[in-house]
Structure formats: structure tokens, C-alpha cells
Amino acid sequence: MKLSTFATGILGLAVSVSAQTDTAPFEDADTGIVFQSSTIAEGITYRLALPANASGDSAYDVILQVVAPIELGWVGWAWGGMMTYNPLTVVWADGENVVYSSRQALGYYLPAAYEDATYTVLKGTGVNETHFKFTALCTGCASWADFDGNPTYLNGAGDTNFAYAFSETPVEEPANSDSSFSIHDNVGHWIHDLAGARSDKFSEWVGNLSPQPPQLSRTLVLDNGAYTIKAGFVAGEDADEKPRVIPNCIVRDRDRKTYVGSGLGACKDFSEAAFRRPVEKGFVVNWEAEKEIWEREFFDDKAPQPCDPSETRLLLTEPSNSLPILQTNCDQVVFEEFGFASYYRGIGPSFNAYHDIQAILRTPRDPQTVAQLPVEILLLIDTGYSHTTVTPLLHGRPLHSAVRRLDIGGKFLTNYLTRLLSLRHYDMRNEPHIVNEMKEAACYVSLDFARDLELTWKGTRGERREPYLAGSGGIAKDYVLPDFHTRSRGVVRDFSPAAASRARKHLAVGEASEDVLTLRNERFSVPELLFRPSDIGMRQLGVADLVMESLAALPVGLWPGLLANVVVVGGCSLFDGFVERLQKEIVKLVPDECIVRVARPEDPIACTWAGGANLARHEHIDALAVTKQEYEEYGATWVARKFTTGLSFDP
């Protein structure tokens, strides 16, 4: 295999006579670091600087520098003086860039990637006309596990035997740090004075030469919902008062005109309009469509909210329990397609922990009380367009094992109402936009479903019950459909038996001036699915039962705190009676000694965005976010692990 000769050569280093056996102090003009330096064959120089307390008893970081002629295909540094079971640093030039690769060989073949040694590229790395130079802080180069798994440390207070190798043959993929490369042209070793490489200025050098995070002028907070995008900027302590609400869709009307995002406002006729949504079941599954919407809203020359991603941090929401492949796709789009300087992808419900929850719950308290963010404990119910989720939060972190989901949201309810209307009135299957507006304007959550159902019952076949004819106790409403000439939106008005009789007569002779639907039990039976999915045969629990299932997965000691701090957000929470019904249902199920408080913020649709804006100003964001440089240096897997771990992340 490739490198078999390389392996044999390294094993024979003990008898090699071609290597230098001494080092000398050298001050690098570009960095100011004083290294112990050794120059070997072909003019390759290896330099090392250590902290003053480096010894052979524990691990420590090192600053290494490799300088080599650009004619060489690659150069390598074996930290244990042999091929196998020790860290290998391999470096090569790729045009104007220097590429490094952390490797370790477990046998006599091409070394594999080695993740236990991490590198931070420092200033002083680059390529000139004759040489390339690599300067980096390495964590894990001076310590490793040997063949038997025992820890090995370089003795920073003495001398050590290092090995080198190089080849004039270029690597197969110069831009790829995981590239394969050919066997060496030469190998050797040198004795390095580690004690002389120690310096009490080590920390100062690292601090001065480490790459500084970009100075970000502002943060773009995006609550990327399935129905709408809530977008706004945060700059220091300043933030948009309210987000801009953007339809998250691409629409083609009956005249085959296309509207993207907020351009939907220019559409005058939604009859038979076709909607294309990038988000399905809460997850972004069509990034081509999503990118088109983002481009129009933020990056085009005439964008309503112009954004320079190279100077902007992005805070982006995602649903709970998202698939890793979808998360990776998202990270790639953010950094590789748009090039944001910094980025944090967080679970949407957790952003709500950065609100003053007691103000939402209207808790009596001293007006001078300052809220501690994130809140200590919160039960967040998000009932949006795609689904409804119950998320317990402790110190701002979701308790993933107790997160529960109901696959009913605004879209499902709209589709169900469409089916009912198409069976009872007109065929509305091609009018989702009109039906959605009808649902939002006319539907409500019943506090006594059986009573309301009795009031709206027509009676047995051929019967017309008096409550039904009189308007079902005020439940019946007339909905005037838009004609997109005199009315662009439908209108809800009280049901009038006399007006209904006249309308039927006009319709019979073809003189009707408006299309009217009389809504009765549709008004409350559609939102009822949030509480009783079994009404249509779904084998899922309603919202209240879902709350109990979530609590059952947690210690009983957390129940009082969670039940006393229940907040509902999302568009479906705007149904009249939703909060009252939810509290009533939960109270029936929980122990009597538990206090149940359920509240809805003033703007439940923008609440998650507002929490994200508070997070963007919080000290936590610097620890949570990932820079573009970190993404390029450590890769997508590292980024995913950091986002998953959150504040407890240990690189």
C-alpha cells in the first residue's frame, strides 16, 4: 500500500545518520516567537515553542512551525519519532493557502485522520515565492495513547526524538485535508531540545497570534416557520421592535404569475393559486425554494432587509428532534452558500426561555424586579402551522427525553375544514388560502363541546330544530367569500335567518351578489382536533394529554414548576378559547396540589423571534455560536456536536 516504504523508513530511525541532532534558538520575525529550531534535508525547518511549565507528567499545548520549499508535495512530523501510534502532522501548499492534516497510523499503510489532536492556525501562516510556512497551536500533539492504550507525554523538561518525512509528489487533492498522498522520498529524525523551547511568554504569543473573531455589526434573527418567516436585526442593545413577517412560500396564481416571499402582497387574486412551501412537517426539505426566498428578502440588490452575511451573525430556529442530515444541509447552506460570519442553530421553543415569563403570566411582584434570563423552568407549547410540540425547559435547555409532538397544526386544520366545506357547501379543494383565512377569522375552541354540538344539531332527517333555525345560540356565522374585485378578503358576519332566506331565493334565480357560507359546528369542531385527534381516527394524544405524557417522563419534583409556568405560542394559540380550554383540561389531569397557570404572550406568532432577539444580546450567544472559520477548520460534525451539546460543550 501507499506509505509502506515510509513506515519501514520510520522504523529504522534509530540507525539513521541523515538527520540533524541539534536545535538552536530562533526568533521568527513574522510572529515574534522564540522557537527551538532545526533545519533538516531539503531545507525543511521544524520549530517548537512550549509553555514554561511543560514537563513529562501531564499534557500541554505546543506552538509548532514548519517551513518548507514550495516544490515539495508534502512534509510530515511524527511526534513520537515513529510511524505508528503517535500523532502525525502533515502539511502542504495549495496555491496561496497552507493545508494541514492531523493523522495517525495504526499500521503500515496510509495514516487515517486523528481527531485527538486539534490545531488552531496562527498568524504567520502563508505562502511566498519560495516557501510555505505553517504556524499553529496544537492541543494533543505532545500527548497520546500508545499501542496498549497507556498515556504518553513528551518530556518538556528534556530532549526528545522527532521524525520527519517528505515527498516531492503532490497530494491527490490539495484542497482537501483528508487527501491521500504518496510514499515519502526521504525520512529521518532529529533530537529536539524541549527544555530550551519553553518560555513564560507562551500564553502571550498564543493570545496575540490567535485568530480574532470577526467584529460583527449585527445579528439576523430568523424564526424560519413553515407558514411565515419572522425576521429582524439586532445590533448591540438595539433591535427591531417587531420582526418582519414574510410568507415562507412561492406562489403561482391562475394567470401563471409567480410571487416569492413578501412579494405575495402584490397578488390580487388567490383563487386557484398554487403554493410551494420549502418546509414540510416542520423541517426544511426544499433548500432550493428556501434559498430563493432568502435571496429575495435579504441578499438581492432590492432586498427589503439588506444583509451583508460576511459581517452578520445568524440565529436560526429549528424544530425539536430534527434529522442530522437535515441539520448538516442547513449548516452547509448557511456557511457555504451564504457565507455568514457566525451562526447559531437552536431549537425554536428554547428561544422563549429568554423572555420575562413572569410578565407573560402576570405574576404580582415588585416593579423593580429584574428577570433572570434564561428562565429557570418553563413548559412551552408551540402550536404552529406544521405541528404542535410540548417542550419542558430547564435553565433554557430543552429536556429532550420529555419533548412530545402532535402532528396537527394550522395546515392540518385548514385541510380538514376544506374537506368539510367541500362536502357541505362548495368545492374548496383548490382554495387553501381562502379556507385558511376563513379558519383564522371564524373558528374557535369550544369550552363545552357537547353543548355547542347540541346547539348546532339540525335534527333527524327532515327535521329543522328551532335552535338550529335561530342560529344555534349565536354559534352560526355567515362568511362572505372574497370575489377579488370588491373584496380581497372574506368577511364574518352574524347569521340572520331572514337574510339567509333571501339569499337562497336570489341564488335560485341567479341574482346573488355575493357567495355566502353559513358556518355552524365547523367553527369549533375543526380546532377540537387539537384536543381530541381521535375524532377523526388519529392515534395520537391531544394537547392536554400530551402535556401529561411529557411530565410522566420527568421527575415528579419538576411538575409543580412546569405546571405553574405554561406558555403557549404559535398561530393556533390565537383561537378564541384555546388558553382557557387548555388550562381546564390540564387541571382535570394533574394532582390537586399542583397549581396550573397557562398564558399566551401578546404576540404569540412573534414570541419565539423576540426570545431569539433577547438571546442575541445575551452573554450566552458567544459561547453557543460557531464562526465560519471554526466550521472550515473543524468541519460539520464538530459544529453539529457543539449545537447539540450547547453551553456544556467541551471541544
Residue 255 sits in a domain whose CATH number is: 3.30.420.40
- CATH code of the domain containing 70: 2.60.40.1210
C-alpha span between 476 and 523 (Å, rounded): 8
> Based on the domain organization, do 401 and 477 belong to the same domain?
no
Do 493 and 556 belong together in one domain? no
User: Are 452 and 309 in the same domain?
Assistant: no
Q: Integer distance in angstroms from the first to the last C-alpha of the chain?
A: 34
pLDDT in tens, 9-45: 443 333 333 344 569 999 999 999 999 999 987 899 9
The count of residues in the chain is: 651
Query: Domain range holding 634?
Result: 218-355+606-648
Burial of 232 (0-12, 13-18, 19+ CB in 10 A): buried
Place of cell 487515517: 112
Query: Is 106 in the same domain as 157?
Result: yes
CA distance 131 to 44: 9
In this structure, the answer to whether residues 155 and 68 fall within a common structural domain is: yes
Parallel, antiparallel, or unpaired: how do β-strands 198-199 and 45-51 relate? parallel
Q: Which three cell numbers stand for residue 334?
A: 448557511
Domain boundary among 527, 550, 569: 527
The answer to whether 524 and 451 are in contact (CB under 8 A) is no
pLDDT for the residue numbered 16: 36
232 beta partners: 221
98 plus 146 within the same structural domain? yes
Supply the CATH number for residue 437's domain: 3.90.640.10
Using pLDDT thresholds of 50, 70 and 90, give the confidence band for residue 285. very high
- What pLDDT is attached to residue 327? 94
Element housing 477 (H / E) = strand 477-480
Here the cell at position 397 is 435547555
The number of folded domains in the chain is 4
> Do 153 and 229 share a domain, yes or no?
no
Partners of 230 in beta bridges: 223, 245
pLDDT band (50, 70, 90) for residue 508: low
Residues 95, 131 within the same domain = yes
Q: Which amino acid is at 598?
A: V
Residue 309, exposed/middle/buried by CB under 10 A (0-12, 13-18, 19+)? buried
Q: Which residue has the higher pLDDT, 616 or 369?
A: 616
CA distance 630 to 588: 50
Is position 533 within any domain?
A: no
Residues 514 and 643 in one domain: no
* Coil, strand or helix at 318: strand
234: Cβ contacts below 8 Å, ≥ 6 apart = 218, 219, 221, 240, 613, 616, 617
SS3 content of the chain, % helix, strand, coil (to 5): 30, 25, 40
Quick one: 92 and 46 in the same domain? yes
Q: Report pLDDT digits (tens) over 370-427.
A: 788 899 999 999 999 999 999 999 999 999 999 999 999 999 999 999 999 999 888 8
Cell of 594: 399542583
Give 430-478 pLDDT, tens digit per residue: 899 999 999 999 999 999 999 999 888 887 776 777 777 667 778 999 9
Cβ neighbours of residue 153 under 8 Å, at least 6 residues apart? 55, 56, 57, 58, 59, 142, 143
Are residues 130 and 24 part of one domain? yes
Instruction: Map 234-267 to HEC letters.
Output: EECCEECCCCEEEECCEEECCCCCEEEHHHHHHC
Q: Give yes or no for a contact between 585 and 349, defined as CB atoms under 8 angstroms apart.
A: no
Longest distance between any two alpha carbons in the chain, whole Å: 110
- 238 vs 607: CA distance, rounded Å: 17
At 513 the pLDDT is 67
- Domain check: are 265 and 321 in the same one? yes
* Cα 525 to Cα 454: distance, rounded to the nearest angstrom: 12
For residue range 625-651, list pLDDT tens digits in order. 999 988 988 888 899 999 988 776 555
Mean pLDDT score of the chain, rounded to an integer? 89
> What are the start-end ranges of the E strands in 507-643?
516-519, 566-569, 598-599, 626-627
